[in-house]
A and B are shown apart, each in its own frame.
Chain A
């Protein structure tokens, strides 16, 4: 593009004057200017555009002699609070870095945001704050590369520690809450030590207050991760996608199901229910989906005698990953267990609730594996 606009300030201003006099909308005028002067700064362009629009056409005006304009720092605190209230998470994070006064207003405001994620996967870590992705890649010589849509920089330190720290800074804000918090630790068996290290580091960085979140999603290879991190959150919905590698699952799930946070859950999704997990530890929730390898007669008896009497239960979906061909026909098993009570009609698969017009509808789907759905139908 023409260099004249880079080197000759008057030529640049004259172009803006032309657009302002023609009443080209400011955004369109700025776009036009950017075509001939790519590095034009919007705030500078805007100043001249509005000055010329207001009939002040002096191209040689010295703006340093202007009276001081009002800025955000001149606004009353409740106004700044109002403005900050419209910012999303990503813009708030940028605005927090502007100055300590701005940071104080932002941190003092009770806010609810969408999704935040921490994904640790071998040599790369991702942190997502709503639409903003921050990527950390391990490099040689104890350095890592940090990438965002705006920049890529190489920094000293451990990539996973940096990612965990970045994530903790945001979820630690005492007055912030989130719709979804996801912590994903994806690693091979040999990386279990790394998972433990990352989760213990995150745990150490979190402050003592409870983090409020609508749904906590954890992908991990050990139950220890859930046992460590769950007490830090206040949530009624947990999704836990669990691997198979841990050899101390029993100790950790016993710890988890005794926690107040667990007892307060109303929704729960679990993959790979650990062997020996007491299924009744899920019966306090309203909605639940879990996967087992072999849903046994004992499980079904507990569902019939305990879950069906729970006042809170609404909907359970149980996926049984055992090979369909190598077991007793699933529906026969269900009919046998439920049919032991007269309340069950094997034709309609309805289980009537005593002294109530409500009933329980059971349905079974045989897809890749069996899926048992149990839903309380209210009158």
Chain B
């Protein structure tokens, strides 16, 4: 089990006997462990509520098992926590409902999201699941930027979206998988229609 992103405490900070900073331990679904500061966790509404509800002491954090985040892998979680640490203490934006939205992607975020589309969508999914509003905003903006000037066919490929026909075919295939006779019945029906019959039976 590896520990990613171990906190770096600078000397001056360590020397001051003020309130000790809390670092929580989280574990991804592929057993990667992360230590994340309390302030960084506040960027995630989901995790913040979770740690508040758990009421861990500093000792609990060390002695109890890491908090498992079961549906996010280590690669994605690393990006999430890097983002949270970088933006810790920043105000969480409130959506005013205006469309088109105005969001700037800071340089750090742009570099963090210089990743393939598959990982970018995982990051978005994680940001949504963990309710990290600004990470969700910037990652969604990045995906939206990918649409600029694209044709519908190009968009289908960028976003891995099926066309209506492909979607229909997939639905039919799923239906047939459940009821193998469905296609047979449909073909028989089409054939009878071609022959001019009004009633199937």
Could you tell me which A residues sit within 8 Å of B by CB distance?
A: 25-26, 41, 43, 46-47, 50-51, 54, 69-76, 78-79, 82-88, 91, 94-95, 97-102, 109-113, 150
Query: Please, which residues of chain B bring their CB within 8 A of the CB of A76?
Result: 125, 128
Contact at A83–B97, with CB atoms within 8 Å? Answer: no
Could you tell me which B residues sit within 8 Å of A by CB distance?
A: 97-101, 103, 114-119, 121-122, 124-125, 128, 136-137, 140-141, 143-145, 147-152, 155-164, 167
Contact at B160–A79, with CB atoms within 8 Å? Answer: no
Contact at A50–B144, with CB atoms within 8 Å? Answer: no
Given contacts A71-B121, A72-B160, A86-B141, contact A78 B128 (CB under 8 A): yes
Query: Please, which residues of chain A bring their CB within 8 A of the CB of B161?
Result: 71-73, 98-99, 101-102
CA distance A87 to B196 in the complex (A): 49
Given contacts A82-B140, A85-B100, contact A50 B116 (CB under 8 A): yes
Contact at B103–A86, with CB atoms within 8 Å? Answer: yes
Q: Which residue of B lies closest to A176 (CB)?
A: B99
Residue of B98, B144, B164, B167 contacting most chain A CB atoms (<10 Å): B144
Distance (Å) between the CB of B112 and the closest chain A CB?
Answer: 14
Contact at A99–B162, with CB atoms within 8 Å? Answer: yes
Query: Please, which residues of chain A bring their CB within 8 A of the CB of B155?
Result: 94-95, 98
Q: Please tell me which one of the listed residues A70, A85, A88 contacts residue B125 in the complex, with CB atoms under 8 A apart.
A: A70
Q: Please tell me which one of the listed residues B99, B119, B121, B148 contacts residue A72 in the complex, with CB atoms under 8 A apart.
A: B121
Contact at B151–A72, with CB atoms within 8 Å? Answer: no
Contact at A79–B128, with CB atoms within 8 Å? Answer: yes
CA distance A148 to B57 in the complex (A): 64
Contact at B144–A83, with CB atoms within 8 Å? Answer: yes
Contact at A150–B151, with CB atoms within 8 Å? Answer: yes
Contact at A72–B159, with CB atoms within 8 Å? Answer: yes
CA distance A150 to B154 in the complex (A): 13
CA distance A170 to B49 in the complex (A): 43
Given contacts A83-B144, A85-B100, contact A101 B125 (CB under 8 A): no
Q: Please tell me which one of the listed residues A43, A47, A94, A100 contacts residue B152 in the complex, with CB atoms under 8 A apart.
A: A94
Query: Please, which residues of chain B bring their CB within 8 A of the CB of A113?
Result: 100
- List 16 additional A-B contacts (Cβ < 8 Å) besides A85-B99, A85-B144, A113-B100: A46-B116, A46-B117, A69-B118, A70-B160, A71-B121, A71-B159, A73-B159, A79-B125, A79-B128, A82-B136, A83-B143, A86-B141, A86-B145, A95-B147, A98-B156, A99-B167
Query: Please, which residues of chain A bring their CB within 8 A of the CB of B152?
Result: 94-95, 97-98
Contact at A99–B164, with CB atoms within 8 Å? Answer: yes
Query: Please, which residues of chain B bring their CB within 8 A of the CB of A88?
Result: 100
Distance (Å) between the CB of A311 and the closest chain B CB?
Answer: 32
Q: Please tell me which one of the listed residues B136, B150, B158 contacts residue A79 in the complex, with CB atoms under 8 A apart.
A: B136
Given contacts A43-B157, A99-B164, contact A91 B116 (CB under 8 A): no
Contact at A74–B163, with CB atoms within 8 Å? Answer: no
Contact at A101–B116, with CB atoms within 8 Å? Answer: no
Query: Please, which residues of chain B bring their CB within 8 A of the CB of A112?
Result: 98-100
Contact at A91–B148, with CB atoms within 8 Å? Answer: yes
Contact at B125–A98, with CB atoms within 8 Å? Answer: no
Distance (Å) between the CB of B106 and the closest chain A CB?
Answer: 16
Query: Please, which residues of chain A bring their CB within 8 A of the CB of B148?
Result: 91
CA distance A101 to B140 in the complex (A): 18
Query: Please, which residues of chain A bring their CB within 8 A of the CB of B98?
Result: 112
Distance (Å) between the CB of B148 and the closest chain A CB?
Answer: 6
Q: Which residue of B lies closest to A102 (CB)?
A: B161
Distance (Å) between the CB of A237 and the closest chain B CB?
Answer: 20
The 9 closest A-B pairs by CB, nearest first: A71-B160, A86-B144, A50-B116, A69-B118, A70-B121, A72-B159, A97-B152, A82-B140, A111-B99
Contact at B99–A26, with CB atoms within 8 Å? Answer: no
CA distance A153 to B148 in the complex (A): 23
Query: Please, which residues of chain A bring their CB within 8 A of the CB of B116?
Result: 46-47, 50-51, 54
Distance (Å) between the CB of B122 and the closest chain A CB?
Answer: 6
CA distance A150 to B152 in the complex (A): 12
Query: Please, which residues of chain A bring their CB within 8 A of the CB of B163?
Result: 98-99
CA distance A99 to B170 in the complex (A): 14
Given contacts A110-B99, A111-B100, contact A79 B147 (CB under 8 A): no
CA distance A71 to B156 in the complex (A): 10
Query: Please, which residues of chain A bring their CB within 8 A of the CB of B99?
Result: 85, 109-112
CA distance A95 to B140 in the complex (A): 15
Distance (Å) between the CB of A25 and the closest chain B CB?
Answer: 8
Contact at A79–B124, with CB atoms within 8 Å? Answer: yes
Contact at A110–B97, with CB atoms within 8 Å? Answer: yes
CA distance A95 to B155 in the complex (A): 7
